Amino acid sequence: MSLRRFRTIALLLAGGWCLAAGSGCVQAPPPELVQTVEALDSQLTEVGGAEFAPEEYAHFVERWVALKHRLEEDDDLIRWPWEPNRVADEVSQVAQEAALTLSLARERREDLRRTTEEQVEEAETRLGTLKQRVEDLGSRAVVGKQLIDTELLVHQAKTFFEQGRYARALELSQIALQSVGAQTVSLTRSLGRYADEEQVQAWKQMAARTIEWSRTSRAQALVINKADRQLTLYRNGQSVHTYPVRLGFNGMLEKKHQGDGATPEGQYRILRKRGPGDTQFYRAFLLDYPNADDRRRYDLAKDSGEMPDGKGIGGWIEIHGQDDHGLGQTLGCIMLDNSQIAHLYEQVSPGTPVTIVGALDVDNRVSRMLGDLAEFAAD
């Protein structure tokens, strides 16, 4: 008699005996226990057990696969009630292991979720602060496309976080934070002269010479402070009126060439007053930029290779009002509201000295912003 036939006969006899004796023979293991493990296995897949508890999950899978193979081979396995249910015990152990692995994976996933959420929020906050400072400082050219790229990184990090892809969101938010730090360094390097005592002292001396000229000549003179965005009218060496001004999109930078959007610094004079019909900006004062100092700096930069090819020194720098369309933007010039330039128009004449400086105090608006930004980026 073959082994298979013997086994079948034995099972039939045992089944008949169980029915006759009413002894309650049962299958091993109970189906509900197997269903429990299968449910835990499914939950582990959903929560990412392989990612968050790789060793524990691999061990569970190995045991569960082997055990399922045995169960499939002995799907008709029965036992007497008084016999130890070793298979059920083993399934129960696997279920406990799966439950512990699931708990661990969930805990680690939640830890990563919290960490990622904090990091993404921090990246978004720091980026917002950087953007505001760039606008306040009029220095978009310093960061250029980097700012746009960082915005994209933060947006992607938020999207991945919402999708539950925390590891990728964390990675992108960290890259964004590094980019914010690098841009902060660039800003500090480009605008650090506003906190340089030697440079600020040189600006103060320029302004002082202009004010002294006004006093001795008993005439008008203008001093423009880029950091504070103010134009002050002096008469006979005394301040008589201060006007708020706007600069170009890179107005705080040192002007180097045509089209850089920077406002020049130096000692100039009004070449010409332009009134209605002679300017698109309501009223305007054309300055004698570039002067000899500007040309000397430009030639040195060109000879040293620091000047981009094809870039001229520029010109046509004005103090002007708003254009005919009421737009509030300028390209390297100094802009006043129309009512204010109308008032100033009556106070000055061709030949009036105009001194433009970066700042008149080391503790100025730009240096404070840079300090706050650097401190914020270092936290």
CA angle in degrees (0–180, nearest 5) for 305-310-315: 105
pLDDT band at residue 51 under the 50/70/90 scheme:
confident
Q: How many residues does the chain have?
A: 379
Q: What is the dihedral of CA 60, 62, 66, 72, to 10 degrees?
A: 70
Query: What digits encode the pLDDT tens for the residues 132-190?
Result: 888 888 777 778 789 999 999 999 999 999 999 999 999 999 999 999 999 998 888 88
Per residue in 322-373, pLDDT tens? 875 545 556 789 999 999 999 999 999 999 999 999 999 999 999 998 888 8
**Mean predicted confidence (pLDDT) in 247-264:** 87
Question: Is the model's pLDDT at 10 over the cut of 50?
Answer: no
Residues involved in catalysis:
320, 333
> What pLDDT is recorded for position 345?
95
Report the alpha-carbon distance of residue 104 to residue 113 in Å, rounded: 14
Give the burial string for 154-186 (b: 16+ CB within 10 Å, else e): bebbbebbeeebbeebbbbbbbbbebbeebbee
Structure confidence at residue 200 as a pLDDT band (50, 70, 90) = very high
> Which amino acid is located at 16 in the chain?
G
Does position 14 have pLDDT exceeding 60, yes or no?
A: no
Kindly report the average pLDDT of the chain as a whole number.
85
CA distance 314 to 294: 10
In sequence order, what DSSP letters do the residues of 76-135 get, joined into one string? T-EE-TTS--HHHHHHHHHHHHHHHHHHHHHHHHHHHHHHHHHHHHHHHHHHHHHHHHHH
Q: What is the mean pLDDT of residues 61-66?
A: 87
pTM: 0.72
Q: State the pLDDT confidence band at 284, using cuts at 50, 70 and 90.
A: very high
Ranked by mean pLDDT, the top range of 4-8, 10-14, 171-175 is 171-175
pLDDT at 79 over 80: no
| Span 94-135, pLDDT tens digits | 889 888 988 888 899 889 999 999 999 999 999 998 998 888
Query: What confidence tier does 2 reach under pLDDT thresholds 50, 70, 90?
Result: very low
Cα of first residue to Cα of last residue in the chain, in angstroms, is 82
Strands 26-27 and 78-79: antiparallel
Judge if the upstream peptide bond of residue 290 is cis by omega within 30 degrees of 0.
yes
Q: Please say if the pLDDT value at position 16 is more than 80.
A: no
Is pLDDT larger for residue 374 or for residue 6? 374
Instruction: Say whether pLDDT at 261 is over 70.
Output: yes
